[in-house]
Amino acid sequence: MVKDSGNKPWFAAYGNEIPTRLPDPAHRSLAELIARICTAHATSRAFTCVVPNGMNGTLTFGQVGEMSDAFAAYLRHHCGVRPGARVAVQLPNGLAYPVVAFGVFKAGGVLVNTNPLYTRPEMTHQFSDSGAEVLVISDMFADKLADVVPRTGIRHVVLAGIPEFFPRIPETVVRGVQRLWTRSLPPIPKLDVPVQRIRQVLKIGRGLPRVTDWDAIGPDDLALLQYTGGTTGVAKGAMLTHGNILANLEQVKAMGGRHMTGQDCVLTALPLYHIFAFTANLMTFFDLGARNILVPSPRPVQNIQRALENYPVTWVTGVNTLFNGLMNEEWFAAYPPKSLKAAIAGGTALHRAVAERWQDVTGTRVAEGYGLTETAPLVSFNPLDQPVRAGSIGVPVPGTDIALVDDNADPVDPGKPGELLVKGPQVMRGYWNRPDETAKTLQNGWVFTGDVAVMDKDGFLTIVDRKKDMVLVSGFNVYPNEVEDCLSLMDTVLEAAVIGVPDKGTGEAVRAYVVQNPDVEGRVTREDVIAHCRQHLAPYKVPKSVMIRDELPKSPIGKILRKDLKAELRDEFAGKV
């Protein structure tokens, strides 16, 4: 049985800024937090949604409070949603998202975040698996409803647009542009369940009794079914409680300390339906009473330009590919945001070359952290008052214990790599209706992350790689992150991914997929890649094959999907090895 670590060397890194004991959450539920914050900051601007042409709309905290009250009343009294019922929300970043999500919490419902780009089979699976009763979906994807809704338990459908709650003229302009992009918005299909627009729904809710029993919601009640990204297999619904999220908010604020205040302005380009942006952007900065700048989609990266140019952004959250993409934009490199305090990286490994270049271009650091859907998500973070430690994901956040173990779940020697295990108040209850998967991942309160890490003498962690992504070359372990980090040092390489391929001589061999950097002269070649790696890596780590691609498969938050590259191998190597 894994034991709590008695010695916690990372406490020294906390200094005087970070508490060694996690403060108790100030609220019993997210509904209580939302209500109090909306009242305390009623006249301050809470959310501004900015579309690529610069058109925008803004809601104050008071407006968000009133609208989410109306949506909660609609859910409870019109739709019959009882505490614990699931409500699926399939929206891009926009003003409708916080109104709907907060209304779900106030109604005592369980939020089921859903990727707007999901296919019909993916939607059907998630809605059926979760048992969702109500669906709030972007009107851009209404054409999927006829194939999905009859196959699920959904009883009500609510439609919302990207320019929802914009002033009338900007809203009309944006909808007109959308029609030009798509030729026409999808027609609303005829369904056997009611379909209403969000403004109509709020009007109905305002005429119904206000939901007042949300103060009965406690920290052990379910708040989210947060489905894993599917990068490691079939998506499963992580059961996150109000207590899990509230504890993680305290952990985020403890690590941010005096650097995070209510005067901040955070850029939210990552999707709010992903747990990283949900906690780090939506809930954390809302709790602070700060302003949130929402970008519906960061692709192409030029979509972010107006948001950065027109607003005093102090924080940016992102993944390696987003930071890399921004710095390859001439407008960003020439005029980086002047008010920026720091950037927060997570979701995937941050390449050292990207972090160093960000520091050079913006004059601010990228503070890297680590988290999981199963941990709401923050596990570790780099203290902002400490010098930058390249490649490290920082130290465990207050209230969190970690262990590094071998394949037998025995502790590894100090300084040696082992699977990272996590325990703390942010750890999920388990997977929804998946006791078998829960038993594999969650044991005696410890989450087995599947990530291999090393801890130094000061308690700083470095992720070596995903356990299942490790490549075994003639008995030697090769971690793709290390090879990808090496490839990122090449000027001609924009992005890279590394996987293992079958090899008759060595069991497995390293294969690199690289994307040409369009902003430099000269073409990347197989010979250049191999020669570069030979200068920096041991021979067995050098790619044996190199594939040059126009692009690499990515998840919605920009994480490069090795699993999709592996899937291609099944056909390529069928019957050959």
Q: What is the mean pLDDT of residues 537-553?
A: 92
Q: What is the mean pLDDT of residues 462-487?
A: 84
pLDDT at residue 475 above 70? no
Handedness of CA 485, 488, 493, 496 (dihedral sign): positive
Q: Which pair of structure tokens corresponds to residue 314? A: 């102090």
Q: How confident is the model at residue 375 (pLDDT cuts 50, 70, 90)?
A: very high
Give the Cα separation of 356 and 388 in Å (integer).
Answer: 10
Give the Cα separation of 374 and 441 in Å (integer).
Answer: 9
Q: How far is CA 171 from CA 194, 297, 309, 425, in A?
A: 25, 17, 21, 42
Per-residue pLDDT at 506: 82
Q: Which pair of structure tokens corresponds to residue 363? A: 């004059």
Q: How confident is the model at residue 371 (pLDDT cuts 50, 70, 90)?
A: very high
Q: What is the mean pLDDT of residues 95-113?
A: 98
Q: How confident is the model at residue 369 (pLDDT cuts 50, 70, 90)?
A: very high
Q: How far is CA 566 from CA 232, 488, 499, 547, in A?
A: 11, 21, 7, 13
Per-residue pLDDT at 182: 55
Per-residue pLDDT at 157: 98
Q: Report the mean per-residue pLDDT for the chain.
A: 92
CB atoms within 10 A of CB 251: 30
- Show the DSSP H helices in 107-144 as ranges: 120-130
pLDDT at residue 178 above 90? no
Q: Is 286 helix (H, G, I), strand (E, B) or coil?
A: helix
Higher-confidence position of 225 and 471: 225
Q: pLDDT tens digits, residue range 45-99?
A: 999 999 998 899 999 999 999 999 999 999 999 999 999 999 999 999 999 999 9
Which residue is associated with the tokens 């029993």? Answer: 213
Per-residue pLDDT at 200: 98
Residue type present at position 120 = R
pLDDT at residue 183 above 70? no
- Where do the domains of the chain lie, and which CATH numbers do they carry? 61-218 (3.40.50.980), 470-572 (3.30.300.30)
Pick from 566, 575, 571: nearest CA to 504: 575
Q: What is the mean pLDDT of residues 150-171?
A: 94
pTM of the predicted protein model: 0.87
Per-residue pLDDT at 181: 57
Give the Cα separation of 510 and 486 in Å (integer).
Answer: 13
Burial (0-12, 13-18, 19+ Cβ within 10 Å), 93: buried
Which residue is associated with the tokens 């048992």? Answer: 131
Per-residue pLDDT at 231: 39
pLDDT at residue 395 above 80? yes
Per-residue pLDDT at 230: 46
Q: What is the mean pLDDT of residues 153-167?
A: 96
Q: What is the mean pLDDT of residues 417-421?
A: 95
CA angle 31, 33, 38 (to 5 degrees): 95
Per-residue pLDDT at 214: 85
The answer to whether the beta carbons of residues 254 and 398 sit under 8 Å apart is: yes
Q: pLDDT tens digits, residue range 322-334?
A: 999 999 999 999 9
Per-residue pLDDT at 119: 85
Which residue is associated with the tokens 């614990």? Answer: 84
pLDDT at residue 537 above 70? yes
The answer to whether the beta carbons of residues 329 and 300 sit under 8 Å apart is: no
pLDDT at residue 18 above 50? yes
How much of the chain exceeds pLDDT 70, in percent? 96
Asked which of 192-201, 385-394, 543-552 is least confident by mean pLDDT, the reply is 385-394
| 236 beta partners | none
Residue type present at position 568 = E
pLDDT at residue 151 above 60? yes
